[in-house]
Amino acid sequence: MARQIVECIPNFSEARRPEIVQAIAASVSSIQGVQILDQHSDLDHNRTVITFVGPKEAVEAAAYQSIETAARLIDLNQHTGEHPRIGAADVVPFVPISGVTMEECIEMAHRLAKRVASQLNIPVYLYEEAAQNPDRKNLENIRKGQYEGLKEEILTNPNRKPDYGPAELGPAGATVIGARNPLIAFNVYLTSDDVEIAQKIARTIRFSTGGLRFVKAMGVLVDGRAQVSMNLTHFRKTPLAQVVEMIRREAQRYGVAIHHSELVGLIPQEALEDAAVWYLQLDQFEKNQILENRLADLAIESASVAAPEPSFIDELASASPTPGGGSASAYAGAMAAALVCMVARVTLGKKKYAEVEAEMLQTIETASALQAHLQECVAQDSAAFEAFIHARRLPKDTPEQEAIRLQAISVATYQAASVPLDVAENSLKVLKLAQAVARKGNLNAVSDAASAAALAQAAIIGAGHNVRINLIGLESEEQAAGMLQRLQEIETAQIEIHSTIPTIIKERSQ
C-alpha cells in the first residue's frame, strides 16, 4: 500500500516581518508527522508560501494551526502588496500526492472550512474541486475586489456570502480553502520596467481571456522589473516550455525579451523533464535514462526489504509508560471512526442505497472529523501523563516552590482526566454512527459496522478506566463529581446503543 501523503500549500499575506513568518512556520512544524518542504517569501508581493506534506490528519491539523496563527498576527487593514489577497491566511489548498484520493482532499477542505469558520469566526470560501458554487471554482472570482472590496460587498451582496462563517470581514479577512491537482507557481521577468507590457502578455496567455487552457496569469512590477506572474494548473496538458515560448514570442512584439524566470515553491520533476525533452528535442527519451531516477528505483527496492519503523502497536508494547491505556482507547475510537467511513464509502454510488446517499455523505464528513480528533487525542493523552510526571518532579524546597508544584499537579491531573473523558464522549458519537451504518449501510459491510461498534465500545470502556483513576487525585470534589456524572451518562448510553447491534445484524442477515 502506498504511503499516505497529502500536500498543503497555504499562502499567507506577510513576508516583510520575518518574526511572523517564522511563527506561522513553527505552528506547522509543531504538528507531529508534518514536514515543511519549502518556504518562499516575496517582499514585493508581501506574501509567503509554505509547502508541507504528511498524512491526512496531520496535514489538516497543521493547516488549521497555521490559519489560527496568521489570523492572530496579521491585520489586513495594515497590509499592502502587489499580490491580490482577501485574507491573512489567503488560500489553503490540499493536493493528493500518494495513497490519498481527490475525494478525501475535498472532505479535508470541508472539515477545515467548518472548523475555521466556527472556532476562528473567519469567513471561508471553497474553491477548485471543493467548490460548492461553480462560480467559485476559480480563485480569481472569489478574490475579486481584494480585501477592501470584499469587506464592503460581503455585507450586502448575497453572491459574496461565504460558504461557511460570518458574512463580515475582520482584520484577518477571509480564507479560501480547496482541493486541487498539483500546480506550478512560475514567474517570468522581462527586460523592461513597463508593467503594461507584462499585463498585455498576461492577458494573451491566460485562459480566462482567450489564452492557454491551464494558465492563470497577471502582470505586476517586482524589483523594478515587469513580471508575468502565473499559476500553471495542469502542466501535463499545458507544458511549461509551451508557456515560456509563448511569453518569449509575445515579448518580442513589444521589443523586450525574457530576463529570467522564477519558481515559487516546488515543481514536479516530470514538468522539468518534459521541458528538457522539449528544448533538447530528445524524441526517443525515456525517464529511466535519468541517473537519479534509476538510483531512486534501487533505493525503493532496498527500502522494501529494510526493517519498518516502530508502529504505534510496537510503542504500546514497549517498556515506556507512554503511550498507555488512554492513548490505546483513543486509537480504538479512531479505528472505529475509520471503519464507519469505510462502510459509508462502499455504500455510495450503489443504486440499491440511493435513498441514503446524502446521509452517507454526511456520515463520512462527521466520522472523518471524529477520526482526526481521536487521533490527536492519542498524542494528547501521552502528553497529559508526561505533564503530570513533570509536575510531580518540580522542586519543593520552599513554600513558594511547593505552591507552584501543587498548582502544576492540579492542572496536570485535571488534564489527565479531561482527555480520556473527551475520548469517551467522542467515541460515543462514533458508536451512534456505527449503529446507523449498520442499519442503513451496504449489507456486504454490515460486519465491518459491527466491528466499528465493538471498537467504539472498547474505547469508551478503556477511557472510562483512565478517567476514574485520574479523578482520584483531583482536588476539586465538584469538578470530580461533574466529570464522573458525565462519564456515567456516556457509559449508560453506550450500553443501550451497543445492545442493539446484534439484533440489527441478525435482522439484516436474514
Enzyme catalytic residues: 83, 381
Nearest residue to 419 (alpha-carbon basis) of 482, 322, 329, 316 = 329
Alpha-carbon 412 to chain mean position: 29
CA distance from start to end of the chain: 35
**Torsion (CA) 113, 115, 120, 121 in degrees, nearest 10:** 60
Strands 175-179 and 47-54: unpaired
Angle in degrees, CA 233, 238, 243, rounded to 5 = 100
DSSP at 493:
H
Query: Per-residue b/e over 394-422, b at no fewer than 16 CB within 10 Å?
Result: eeeeeeeeeeebeebbbebbbbbbbbbbb
CA 345 vs CA 342, 353, 450: distances in Å:
5, 11, 16
Taking the C-alpha atoms of residue 165 and residue 353, their distance in angstroms, rounded to an integer, is 32
Is the Cβ–Cβ distance between 357 and 348 less than 8 Å?
Answer: yes
| Selection from 17, 26, 39 nearest residue 264 by Cα | 39
What angle do helix axes 446-471 and 501-509 make, rounded to 10 degrees? 180
Cα maximum dimension of the chain: 82
Helix (H) or strand (E) holding 79: none
User: Cα(78)–Cα(72) distance, rounded to whole angstroms?
Assistant: 14
Q: Which of 370, 499, 488, 501 is nearest to 434 (CA)?
A: 501
What 3-state class would DSSP assign to 355? Answer: helix
Calculate the alpha carbon distances from 276 to 107, 240, 241, 269 in Å: 37, 10, 8, 11
Q: What is the H or E stretch that residue 318 is in?
A: none
- Evaluated on CA atoms 470, 476, 478, 479, the torsion sign reads negative
* CB contact set of 197 (below 8 Å; sequence gap of 6+): 190, 219, 226, 251, 254, 256
